[in-house]
Amino acid sequence: MVDIQFSEHSLKQRLAKILTVPKWTKQSIVTAKAFLQSLTIAQRCYLLALIALLLFQSDIWLAAIITAVALIIEFWPKFAIAWHSLAGKAIFLLFYAVIANFALAASGSVVNEITGVSASHLSYTHNFAILLYLPIWFVCISILALLLLQIVIPCYLLFHIGLRILGLETNQQDNKKRFVVTTAFLRMVLSVVLLMNLVAISDGETLLENVANKIQKNEKVSLANTVVEVKITEKAQTEAEKAANDLTMQSADGTIESLRTFGHTYYKGIRELIALFAYKFEADGRSRCEKLANSVVVELNDYEILEITESANEKYGYHFEVKKCISPAFGQIASPPK
């Protein structure tokens, strides 16, 4: 009986030793906790973005989103202070008025691209396109403005370092904020990642197509060189070169796909919504001009109409065609619908 109790006691002691957290682990946890508590919310977000960039290299958009949140958290109080001044309000209103003008022009060109006519003939569709484009323009341009501030911040830091060297540093700095230089460097590195994602999103068609064409040209050149080398080298070398080319093409294809997912999905979705809006809401089901039975029309002027029909073969699901207006007003009799 005594032996059983002794064995149970020894077993409990062993379990206690195993489950006891070592002192160095406790000290590390306390140090890490104190370090995180000493950081601001924006600095914690930058640290989290860096960890996400290192761990999820294939999904860099995650680090870009966290970086954007950190930039907004860090600079929003400064924007709020600037907004309460008259000059700040004037600058902000002018800035966003310029963005709205660009969004107006971009949406008009998109409506023209989809329908084939000027956006002035489709005012409601144009307004709908503006509502779709304005948010992404506001977000992208605002974040780009935050990224431009990263050019000013190093100059600001160098100025303060110079004052500190000369012994002229003022006491107006916030002593609670730590790791100012490290944070600025980390912010600049993460801003590059964010800028790459913004470029892919903001110019999701022309830029991506240009990049894709360049990559494809490089692939064609490399493949042509490979063919020449195949004629000269032995079979073992050709197999190794083909394997290397396959890996290069796979990585290039992955890069193209990652770029296209940022831009093409969003812009194609916008164009499909614009075409749907023009068909469902802008166009009229009845018209004085001759039209197909399953079509809707928009009267451009007294002599022309824009006929819209559903078509699965079209890129955005609808076919737009400008036709001559055949109307009794011009002494023309419309043929009976088939």
**3-state SS track over 101-169:** HHHHHHHHHHHHHHHCCCHHHCHHHHHHHHHHHHHHHHHHHHHHHHHHHHHHHHHHHHHHHHHHHHCCC
Tell the burial category of 272 from Cβ atoms under 10 Å away from its Cβ (0-12, 13-18, 19+): middle
Place of tokens 């831009």: 263
Other beta carbons less than 10 A from residue 73's beta carbon = 16
pLDDT of 31 reads 75
pLDDT of 247 reads 44
* 78's tokens: 């400064």
Q: How far is CA 82 from CA 66, 104, 225, in A?
A: 24, 27, 59
Percent of the chain with pLDDT over 90: 14
C-beta separation of 119 from 111 below 8 A:
yes
What's the one-letter identity of residue 333?
I
What's the one-letter identity of residue 252?
A
* 91's tokens: 């600058």
Query: Is it the case that residue 127 has pLDDT exceeding 90?
Result: yes
Place of tokens 């197999």: 239
* 320's tokens: 């737009």
Which of 302, 207, 289 is closest to 256 using CA atoms? 207
Other beta carbons less than 10 A from residue 33's beta carbon = 10
* 93's tokens: 């209103």
Which of 323, 338, 325, 320 is closest to 279 using CA atoms? 320
pLDDT of 312 reads 86
Percent of the chain with pLDDT over 70: 64
* pLDDT band at residue 306 using 50, 70 and 90 as cut-offs: very high
195 three-class SS: helix
Higher-pLDDT residue of 237 and 201 is 201
Domain chopping of the chain, boundaries: 1-37, 39-202, 203-282, 284-338
Mean pLDDT, residues 270-296: 90
* pLDDT band at residue 321 using 50, 70 and 90 as cut-offs: very high
* pLDDT band at residue 213 using 50, 70 and 90 as cut-offs: low
Mean pLDDT, residues 266-283: 89
pLDDT of 244 reads 45
pLDDT in tens, 33-49: 777 778 888 888 888 88
Q: Which of 167-171, 269-273, 312-316, 333-337 has the lowest mean pLDDT?
A: 333-337
How far is it, in rounded angstroms, from Cα 202 to Cα 259?
11
Model confidence, pTM: 0.62
C-beta separation of 124 from 274 below 8 A:
no
Mean model confidence pLDDT for the chain: 74
Tell how far CA 225 is from the center of its chain. Answer: 36
pLDDT in tens, 134-149: 888 887 788 777 777 7
